[in-house]
């Protein structure tokens, strides 16, 4: 009987998304982790890549495939070794690796070397797994020779609550730990909305204290700012909110949107990245215009727009754990079996 296939799992940060894929793959394959530690400075980065080179030089022969989260400096050598030795390589494109917002120094393509490594990885890996149609289109445009397959990120959702607890409350959620994330998450726009609509309560969840003190100290009286909370407390916010806003300037997917819809929040998002794909016909997509957004919020609340958690459950099926597990195992199994 043939033994399990061996996969080398390369990552930079073992985040929830990364851990989820590692656990899924570990159910069927022998998976070994390789953590690349990003460093600031050319010399420190060179040391990390030299270590990676030595590891691959002596160990790549042990593996049937390489699975890499994100295209960046850390994906260059794994894809190169896999290509030279005719092994399969898969790169998950999560969004940061196709982004470029130079004024915020955000995205892989804000740096030429990192951009080069990302393009090489996308063009030369066996398959790019893109987390949204938006990201898929970006990869197609950036890396003309790339092979791609859409595979949405997944979210583990709790049981949805009753809509009876809903209040005229507008919520946004995000880890806001710097001026950059404050801008990227569109918090400035959200604060502007609170000022325009003093009759409603607005809530921001996820602002770290130093950012809260520095950037949100003079917020409107109807705006409540909460620091990061655990999932249980966050779920309580979702259960109370009538409208969930995600007004990001860059967002490849949008976990909080899925979580909010699961609890019956009416989603309102800017026409950016992968967010419109999530709300698709179940919410409202707006331009970044305070007058337009505030008018939309008033209409939703005044019309008491009905929201059905059961209806949202249909919309959220592609983003559930079981959906990603089934497709990911299918894709990897098919790829590894190809001679």
* Residue-number span of the structural domain to which 63 is assigned: 6-154+320-337
Determine, yes or no, domain membership for 61.
yes
Within this chain, do residues 64 and 168 fall inside the same structural domain, yes or no?
no
- Tokens encoding 96: 């940061």
Say how far apart CA 180 and CA 184 lie, in whole Å. 6
Say how far apart CA 8 and CA 139 lie, in whole Å. 23
Residues of the chain with confidence (pLDDT) below 70 = 1-2, 160-164, 305-311, 338-339
Within this chain, do residues 172 and 303 fall inside the same structural domain, yes or no?
yes
Q: How far is CA 284 from CA 130, 172, 222, 247, 304, in A?
A: 24, 15, 23, 12, 15
Can you list the pairs that 113-116 forms with residues at least 24 positions away whose Cβ atoms lie under 8 Å?
Answer: 113/73, 114/72, 114/73
Say how far apart CA 114 and CA 227 lie, in whole Å. 33
SS3 1: coil
Say how far apart CA 328 and CA 117 lie, in whole Å. 24
User: Shortest CA distance to 103 belongs to which of 49, 180, 170, 28?
Assistant: 180
Tokens 């999530």 sit on residue: 278
Q: How far is CA 58 from CA 11, 12, 47, 55, in A?
A: 19, 21, 17, 6
Determine, yes or no, domain membership for 1.
no
Tokens 């710097």 sit on residue: 178
Determine, yes or no, domain membership for 80.
yes
Say how far apart CA 203 and CA 198 lie, in whole Å. 12
Determine, yes or no, domain membership for 258.
yes
Q: How many other C-beta atoms lie within 10 A of the C-beta of residue 3?
A: 6
Within this chain, do residues 208 and 113 fall inside the same structural domain, yes or no?
no
Q: What pLDDT is attached to residue 165? A: 75
Determine, yes or no, domain membership for 301.
yes
Contacts of 335 (CB under 8 A, 6+ apart): 65, 88, 90, 126, 127
CATH of residue 293's domain is: 3.40.50.2000
Say what the pTM is.
Answer: 0.89
Q: What pLDDT is attached to residue 31? A: 97
Determine, yes or no, domain membership for 147.
yes
Q: What pLDDT is attached to residue 313? A: 77
Q: What pLDDT is attached to residue 339? A: 46
Within this chain, do residues 31 and 149 fall inside the same structural domain, yes or no?
yes
Say how far apart CA 77 and CA 162 lie, in whole Å. 50
Within this chain, do residues 283 and 176 fall inside the same structural domain, yes or no?
yes
H or E element at residue 277:
helix 275-279
Q: How many other C-beta atoms lie within 10 A of the C-beta of residue 71?
A: 32
Determine, yes or no, domain membership for 206.
yes
Say how many CA atoms lie within 13 Å of 208 toward its Cβ.
10
Within this chain, do residues 150 and 276 fall inside the same structural domain, yes or no?
no
Within this chain, do residues 139 and 197 fall inside the same structural domain, yes or no?
no
Say how far apart CA 12 and CA 114 lie, in whole Å. 14
Number of folded domains in the chain?
A: 2
Within this chain, do residues 113 and 214 fall inside the same structural domain, yes or no?
no
- Tokens encoding 177: 């730990």
Within this chain, do residues 206 and 249 fall inside the same structural domain, yes or no?
yes
Say how far apart CA 248 and CA 246 lie, in whole Å. 6
Within this chain, do residues 168 and 313 fall inside the same structural domain, yes or no?
yes
Within this chain, do residues 283 and 330 fall inside the same structural domain, yes or no?
no
* Burial class for 40, CB neighbours closer than 10 Å (0-12, 13-18, 19+): exposed
Q: How many other C-beta atoms lie within 10 A of the C-beta of residue 172?
A: 27
Within this chain, do residues 192 and 298 fall inside the same structural domain, yes or no?
yes
């Amino acid at each position: 009987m043939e033994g399990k296939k061996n996969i080398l799992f390369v990552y930079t940060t073992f985040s929830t998304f990364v851990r989820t894929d590692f656990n899924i793959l570990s159910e069927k394959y022998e998976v070994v982790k390789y953590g690349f530690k990003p460093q600031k400075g050319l010399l420190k980065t060179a040391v990390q890549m030299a270590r990676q080179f030595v590891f691959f030089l002596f160990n790549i022969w042990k593996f049937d495939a390489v699975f890499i989260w994100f295209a960046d400096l850390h994906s260059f050598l794994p894809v190169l070794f896999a290509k030279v030795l005719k092994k399969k390589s898969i790169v998950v494109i999560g969004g940061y690796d196709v982004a470029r917002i130079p004024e915020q120094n955000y995205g892989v393509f804000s740096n030429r070397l990192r951009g080069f490594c990302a393009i090489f990885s996308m063009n030369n890996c066996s398959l790019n797994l893109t987390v949204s149609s938006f990201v898929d289109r970006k990869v197609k445009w950036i890396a003309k020779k790339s092979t791609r397959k859409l595979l949405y990120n997944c979210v583990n959702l709790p049981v949805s609550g009753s809509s009876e607890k809903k209040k005229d409350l507008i919520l946004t959620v995000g880890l806001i730990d710097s001026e950059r994330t404050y801008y990227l998450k569109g918090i400035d726009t959200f604060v502007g909305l609170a000022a325009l609509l003093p009759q409603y309560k607005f809530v921001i969840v996820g602002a770290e204290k130093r950012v809260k003190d520095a950037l949100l100290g003079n917020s409107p009286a109807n705006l409540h700012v909460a620091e990061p909370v655990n999932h249980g407390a966050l779920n309580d916010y979702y259960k109370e909110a009538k409208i969930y806003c995600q007004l990001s300037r860059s967002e490849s997917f949008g976990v909080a949107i899925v979580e909010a819809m699961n609890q019956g929040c009416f989603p309102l998002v800017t026409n950016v990245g992968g967010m419109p794909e999530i709300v698709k016909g179940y919410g409202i997509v707006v331009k970044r215009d305070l007058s337009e957004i505030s008018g939309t919020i008033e209409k939703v609340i005044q019309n008491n727009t009905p929201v059905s958690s059961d209806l949202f459950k249909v919309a959220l099926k592609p983003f559930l754990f079981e959906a990603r597990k089934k497709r990911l195992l299918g894709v990897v199994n098919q790829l590894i079996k190809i001679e």
